[in-house]
Amino acid sequence: MAQGRNVVIVGALVIALLVPVLLSAHRHTDAWSPRHRVVDEVKYLPTGRALKATSLGYEQFVADMLWIRTTLLFGKRYASQDHDWYSWVFHMIDLATDLDPEFKAAYKYGGTMLRSEGVFIDQSSLIFGKGMVHRPDLWELPFGIGMNYFMFKDDRETAARYIAMAAKTGKGPFYLRNLAASLQSDSGDLDSALIFLQTDLESIPESQKKAREAVEVKIIELKYLIARRDAMDVVTEFRRLTGDLPENPADVASRGLELPRDPFLGQWTWDPDPKMEVGTLISTNYCEVFTQLAREHGLGRLTFASCQAELVDSP
């Protein structure tokens, strides 16, 4: 009975502290006001010390409440036009891990949430780094920082150092050491990036649908870019043998060469975008595939001018 009363007391105290924050989050997820920004409200969030003082030994319970609300907000606001709400997400993850320093899910998936749209990369690394202090057994945390440096900061040396740390835990995939070594070379950027993303996807639970979708779309794009790179290598070889480009990409067969299969099940053709170098390839199905992805996942406009036009003209 006493324990039950304590839970009630703790719940009441938590609600008293968090109601203003939760109401604020609700307002920003359902009726965003341009005059009122989440970054301003972050100033008034309770500190981890204040929450600990009122949790009466139920820190994990309070941390779970914060984490659940954070994941709900992420699911609602992901791919929206504004990014101010990421400040709220970061601070709530920070609070949850203050209360429960060994909160595995908050470190692993919280760090992934923060960098999902290429936003809050430094804060993502801070969460991963905070987790490394309290959970040195989790290879995903140094791996996450390594990915941030490689994918978003173009810092291969620092990325390699963190990947090596992930390998030293002895609990990650067998190829981590080789990946760390490959990052020290100047080749294989796309292949290394694909390994990063595929490994990242494996670490994201099915419940984190939006985070998984963001990584899945990037994997689709990378597989296409790798195939296009390999096809371009064949065209370059044809040019070396003949001194000129073939009239059509498939004409490389006249010299015994073969283009790799288009992953989008189309044909390789010359990219019509005038901004691209002459001889750049594109799949005939590229626009169709990525226009559909843009519609489904809110990716915005695409890189190639022809696809941008298709998005603008389509209903």
Tell me the average pLDDT of the chain. Answer: 77
Helix (H, G, I), strand (E, B), or coil: what is residue 290?
A: helix
**Helix (H/G/I), strand (E/B), else coil: 230:** helix
Q: Which residue has the higher pLDDT, 297 or 225?
A: 225
Is the distance from CB of 183 to CB of 150 less than 8 angstroms? yes
Please say whether the dihedral angle defined by the alpha carbons of residues 56, 59, 65 and 70, taken in this order, is positive or negative: positive
DSSP 3-state of 152: coil
For residue 34, the model assigns a pLDDT of 37
Tell me the C-alpha distance between 247 and 270, whole Å.
9
Q: Which residues contact 219 (CB under 8 A, 6 or more apart)?
A: 194, 197, 198, 201
Q: Give the single-character DSSP code of 38.
A: H
Q: What confidence tier does 58 reach under pLDDT thresholds 50, 70, 90?
A: confident
Per-residue model confidence (pLDDT) at position 287: 86
pTM for the whole thing? Answer: 0.58
- Convert the pLDDT of each residue in 202-232 to its tens digit: 777 777 777 777 778 878 888 998 999 999 9
Contact criterion met (CB below 8 Å) for 168 and 192? no
Q: Which residue has the tokens 């941008």?
A: 308
Mean pLDDT computed over 5-21? 50
Q: Which residue has the higher pLDDT, 299 or 114?
A: 114
By CB atoms closer than 10 A (0-12, 13-18, 19+), residue 247 is exposed
pLDDT for 103 equals 95
Q: Closest Cα partner for 191 from 182, 200, 203?
A: 182
pLDDT at 137: 94
Residue ranges with strand state E in the chain:
268-270, 281-283
Which pLDDT score is estimated for 184?
Answer: 62
Least confident of 55-59, 185-189, 195-199, 271-275: 185-189
DSSP string of 61-125, one letter each residue? HHHHHHHHHHHHHHHHHTT-S--THHHHHHHHHHHHHHH-TT-HHHHHHHHHHHTTTS--HHHHH
Q: Which range (102-111, 165-174, 239-248) has the least confidence? A: 165-174
More confident: 249 or 30: 249
The three-point CA angle 96-100-134 to 5° equals 110
Of residues 82 and 140, more confidence is placed in 140
Tell me the mean pLDDT in the region 127-141: 96
What is the per-residue pLDDT for 315?
Answer: 35
Residue 242 has pLDDT above 80, yes or no: yes
Answer yes or no: are the C-beta atoms of 33 and 84 closer than 8 Å. Answer: no
